[in-house]
Amino acid sequence: MSDARTRVRRLPERQVTDRATLNDLLDATVYCHVGVALDDGVHVLPMAHARDGDTLLVHGSTGSRLMRALAEGAGACVTVTEVTGIVVARSAFDSSMHYRSAVIYGTFHPIVEQGSAELGQGSPGAVAALDRLTETLIPGRSAEIRPPTARELAATMILAMPLTEWALKVGAKHPDDPAEERGQQVWAGWVPLTSRAGTPVPADEESAGLPVPASVQALVERVNARP
For the segment 57-116, give every residue that binds a copy of itself (CB under 8 A). Answer: 60-61, 63-65, 75-79, 81, 83, 86, 88-93, 95, 97, 99, 101, 103, 105
Residues 203-222 that bind a copy of itself (CB under 8 A): 203-204, 206-207, 210-213, 215-216, 219-220
| CA dihedral (217, 57, 34, 82) positive or negative | positive
The reply on whether position 182 binds a copy of itself by CB under 8 A is yes
Size of the site for a copy of itself (CB under 8 A): 99
Q: How far is the CB of 164 from a copy of itself (least distance, A)?
A: 14
Asked whether position 122 contacts a copy of itself by CB under 8 A, the answer is no
Provide the minimum distance between the beta carbon of 208 and a copy of itself in the complex, in angstroms, as a whole number.
9
What Rg, from alpha-carbon coordinates, does the chain have?
Answer: 21
Find the binder of a copy of itself among 73, 152, 164, 221 (CB under 8 A). Answer: 152
Yes or no: say if 160 and 120 are a contact pair by the CB < 8 Å rule: no
Sequence length of the chain is: 227
Based on CB atoms, which residue is closest to a copy of itself, 37 or 120? 37
Q: How far is the CB of 121 from a copy of itself (least distance, A)?
A: 26
In the beta sheet, which residues pair with residue 88?
Answer: 189
The one-letter amino acid code at 144 reads: E
Q: Identify which of residues 120 and 200 has a Cβ nearer to a copy of itself in the complex.
A: 200
Q: Cβ atoms within 10 A of the Cβ of 149, count?
A: 9
With contacts defined by CB under 8 A, name the span among 2-10, 18-26, 49-57, 110-118 that binds a copy of itself: 2-10
Residues 129-148 that bind a copy of itself (CB under 8 A): 130-131, 133-134, 137-138, 141-142, 144-146, 148
Residue 142 CB, shortest distance to a copy of itself, in Å, is 7
| For a copy of itself, the closer CB: 64 or 120 | 64
Please give the single-letter amino acid code of residue 126: A
Choose among 138, 144, 149: nearest CA to 113: 149
The interface region with a copy of itself, picked from 15-23, 33-41, 50-58, 108-116 by CB under 8 A, is: 33-41
Could you tell me which residues come within 8 angstroms of residue 29 by beta carbon, excluding any fewer than 6 positions away? 49, 80, 81, 82
Concatenating the DSSP letter of every residue in 46-107 gives: EEEEEEETTEEEEEEETT-HHHHHHHTT--EEEEEEEEEEEEE-SSTTT-EEEEEEEEEEE-
